[in-house]
Amino acid sequence: NAGVTQTPKFQVLKTGQSMTLQCAQDMNHNSMYWYRQDPGMGLRLIYYSASEGTTDKGEVPNGYNVSRLNKREFSLRLESAAPSQTSVYFCASSEWQGGTEAFFGQGTRLTVV
């Protein structure tokens, strides 16, 4: 049982490049989340998907897009990367709409130069 799997673990991008962060969960969870973590800032919610077929903006959605491809997969896309998007990105899932424990992936460390 892998839980929540994120790819890649590390990535370096040049300013203006695009990329997609992949996330998949095998726990049959309904809700999935994307967070970014910067030093001293805790986890800030970028986008979330309460259930398959729905997505909503979190605190810091600008510069990002998401796709809930199916119940298992929730991807995060950076269309034109900026140095301000240098961060550690975490994907998480929970059984239903935030009311139960969220399980986290191992994180993606992204550097934009």
Partner 1 sequence: QKEVEQNSGPLSVPEGAIASLNCTYSDRVSQSFFWYRQYSGKSPELIMSIYSNGDKEDGRFTAQLNKASQYVSLLIRDSQPSDSATYLCAVTSSNDYKLSFGAGTTVTVRA
Q: Which residues bind partner 1 (CB under 8 A)?
A: 31, 33, 35, 40-45, 48, 50, 56, 58-59, 90, 92, 94, 97-102, 104-107
Smallest distance from partner 1 to CB 14, Å: 25
Smallest distance from the beta carbon of 97 to partner 1, in angstroms? Answer: 4
What does the DSSP 8-state code read for residue 83? G
Of 14 and 40, nearer to partner 1 (C-beta) is 40
Q: Which is nearer to partner 1, 58 or 63 (CB)?
A: 58
Angle in degrees, CA 55, 22, 40, rounded to 5: 80
Query: Nearer Cβ to partner 1, position 15 or 106?
Result: 106
Q: Give the span between the Cα atoms of 63 and 103, in whole angstroms.
A: 25
How far is 36 from 85, CA to CA, in rounded Å? 9
106, amino acid identity: Q
